[in-house]
Amino acid sequence: MKIDNSIPGANPIGRVTESSNRPSAAAPSGTATASDSVAITNLSTRLNELEGVLSGVPVVDGEKVQSIRQAIAEGRFQVDSGVVADRLLSSARELLLQRG
């Protein structure tokens, strides 16, 4: 299983993309029109709160890693090749379905 902190196609809050950094042709740089406005919805506010909460959650369970490391060192760790093969095939199937 691949652990990845990114979400394909997502633009994290606070980052500016090239297209949004360019001035638009409709309004010259530095001028505002009567229709310019910004609205922050409750959903947007909630998403910002959740992003803050999730940024504090560790990606890896340190205790689990340490217990596996200990089991390997003591020779108690057993690899079930059938489970590994099943999960590898499942992961490959997911990737193929995503690429469509």
Three-state helix/strand/coil letters over the chain: CCCCCCCCCCCCCCCCCHHHHCCCCCCCCCCCCCCCCCCCCHHHHHHHHHHHHHHCCCCCCHHHHHHHHHHHHHCCCCCCHHHHHHHHHHHHHHHHHHHC
Is there a domain that residue 77 lies in? Answer: yes
32 falls within a domain: no
2 within some domain: no
Domain count, the chain: 1
**Residues 46-95 pLDDT 10s:** 999 999 999 988 889 999 999 999 999 999 999 999 999 999 999 999 99
Reported as half-sphere exposure (CB side, CA atoms, 13 A), residue 85 has a value of: 3
Domain for residue 19, yes or no? no
With respect to residue 13, please indicate whether it lies within any of the assigned structural domains.
no
Is 92 within the bounds of a domain? yes
Q: What phi and psi values does residue 6 have, to the nearest 5 degrees?
A: -100, 155
Find the domain containing 70 and state its range: 40-99
- Asked if the structure places residue 7 within a domain, the reply is no
Tell me the average pLDDT across 19-35. 57
Asked if the structure places residue 69 within a domain, the reply is yes
